[in-house]
Amino acid sequence: MVFDTRLLTGVGVMAAVTETGNFARAAEMLGLTPSGVSRAVARLEARVGVRLFDRNPREVSLTEEGRRFHAQVMPLLAGLDEAAAEAASAATVVRGRLRVSVDPWFARMVLASKLQIFLQRYPLLAVDFSTSNYREEMMAGFDVAVRFGPPDASSLIARKLLDTRVVTVAAPAYLARHGKPRSPHDLVHHEALLFRDPQTGLPFPWEFHRNGELDEVKVSSRLVLDDPSVAISACVAGQGIFQSLAVGLAPFLSAGDLVQILPEWSEELCPLYAYHPSRHLPPAKVRAFLDFVREIALDTGSV
């Protein structure tokens, strides 16, 4: 069924005429001419098939059929006003339910411990939180998604939140047993902990960047992981050397649980992007979340 927008216009004109008592004052209220108001009422009467107003030179009044019709449509107009007001407030008031899909590394290493701050800041907001590092249909059922890596070509709107360095780390206990690598190629003699690329299913290659120079090293490993918390736990336990995103690692480095190795080869950057589906201004709840994510990421001091 195709909705006739002229019906809604006519109902609005009818409400103005009923409130003001004549066509001239209704025209002034609506910014129309009296003849324009008269034509709108006539079209509405033709559409519904009954006479809605009794007309005389000084005023107009609703007919019996007009009163019944007016009583039925006014709650609908009020509902439209309320819906419009709610939609307008959604652009400025942080409220409702926010559905987010966040990369597991960022979710567990940075965001999880800060969610209480976000919820306290916005008491009218509830968050439905999911972790995933897959990009296929990442917006299905979500308001916003957060992923590491360059943005894909898609119809989604991508907003860069930060760049974080790629660093190589190991536990002091591992280095005490196996020695500290002095160059990237020394790593071929060490046990590496590899992290699986969710897009390809293969381990991420180990690259080292310094002063525009790129050195890729084929490391050996008996352990490939796809969970960041497991990878860090294994590294802290001394099972091998891990190449990691710097964001979220500050607590492990400051506590001495991990040590950065080859720091002069850590110029590679990995971006963190947020995605949302509309080119229009996103709702206030989405903007608030994106601003908060960037705020806490920068507070880590590891980007």
Residue-wise pLDDT tens digits, 237-263: 999 999 999 998 999 999 999 999 999
- Domain harbouring 174, CATH code: 3.40.190.290
For the ranges 10-24, 76-90, 200-214, 278-292, the lowest mean pLDDT is seen at 76-90
Is residue 107 domain-shared with residue 53, that is, in the same domain?
no
Say whether both 40 and 152 belong to one domain.
no
Shortest CA distance to 90 belongs to which of 293, 301, 284, 220?
284
Q: What is the mean pLDDT of residues 260-271?
A: 93
Residues 6+ apart with CB under 8 A from 209: 215, 265, 266, 267, 268
Higher per-residue pLDDT: 40 or 80: 40
pLDDT for 90: 53
Q: Domain tally for the chain?
A: 2
Q: Of 57, 90, 123, which marks where a domain is finished? A: 90
Summarised one tens digit per residue, pLDDT across range 134-149 is: 777 777 778 899 999 8
User: Looking at the structure, do residues 214 and 178 belong to the same domain, yes or no?
Assistant: yes
> Do 115 and 244 sit in the same domain of this protein?
yes
**Same-domain check for residues 150 and 63:** no
Range with lowest mean pLDDT among 48-52, 86-90, 258-262: 86-90
131 with 69, same domain? no
Residues 216 and 244 both lie in one domain? yes
The answer, yes or no, to whether residue 118 has pLDDT greater than 90, is yes
Same domain, 77 and 197: no
- 195 and 106 both lie in a single domain: yes
pLDDT category, 83, cuts 50, 70, 90?
low
Mean pLDDT of 166-180: 96
SS3 state of residue 278: coil
- Which residue did the predictor score with more confidence, 78 or 229? 229
pLDDT at 1: 45
**Where are any strands of DSSP class E within the chain?**
53-55, 60-62, 96-102, 125-131, 144-148, 157-170, 191-195, 206-210, 213-217, 220-225, 241-245, 259-261, 269-276
Phi-psi label, residue 151: left if phi above 0, alpha if psi -120 to 50, beta otherwise? beta
| Residue where a domain terminates, one of 22, 55, 90 | 90
Q: What is the pLDDT, as a whole number, of residue 139?
A: 74
In the predicted model, what is the mean pLDDT of the chain?
85
- With a cut of 50, say whether residue 152 has pLDDT above it: yes
Q: What percent of the chain has pLDDT over 70?
A: 88
Regarding whether 125 and 272 lie in a shared domain, the answer is yes
Q: How far apart are CA 269 and CA 34, in angstroms?
A: 66
250: buried, middle or exposed (CB in 10 Å: 19+, 13-18, 0-12)?
middle
Residues contacting 237, CB < 8 A, separation 6+: 171
Whether 17 and 41 have beta carbons less than 8 Å apart is answered as yes
Residue with tokens 């360059």: 150
What tokens were used for 89?
A: 């407030």
Look at the pTM and tell me if it is higher than 0.75.
no
What is the H or E stretch that residue 192 is in? strand 191-195
Is pLDDT larger for residue 84 or for residue 100? Answer: 100
Going by C-beta distance under 8 Å and a sequence separation of 6 or more, which residues neighbour residue 34? 23, 24, 27
**pLDDT of residue 91 exceeding 60:** no
Residue 166 confidence (pLDDT): 94
More confident residue, 263 or 75: 263
What's the rounded Cα separation, in Å, for the pair 29 and 14? 12
Residues 85, 101 share a domain: no
Give yes or no for residue 221 having a pLDDT over 80.
yes
For 180, the 3-state DSSP assignment is coil
Tokens of 228: 């960041």
Is the pLDDT reported for residue 3 higher than 80? no
Q: Residues near 257 by Cβ (< 8 Å), separated by ≥ 6? A: 171, 236
Residues 119 and 197 in one domain: yes
What would the two tokens of residue 235 be? 């590294």
CATH for 60: 1.10.10.10
Amino acid in the structure at residue 98:
L
Is pLDDT at 277 greater than 60 in this prediction? yes
Q: How far apart are the first and last CA of the chain?
A: 54
pLDDT attached to residue 159: 87
Structural domain ending residue among the three candidates 66, 90, 114? 90
Can you give the residue range of the structural domain that contains 17? Answer: 5-90
pLDDT score for 85: 53
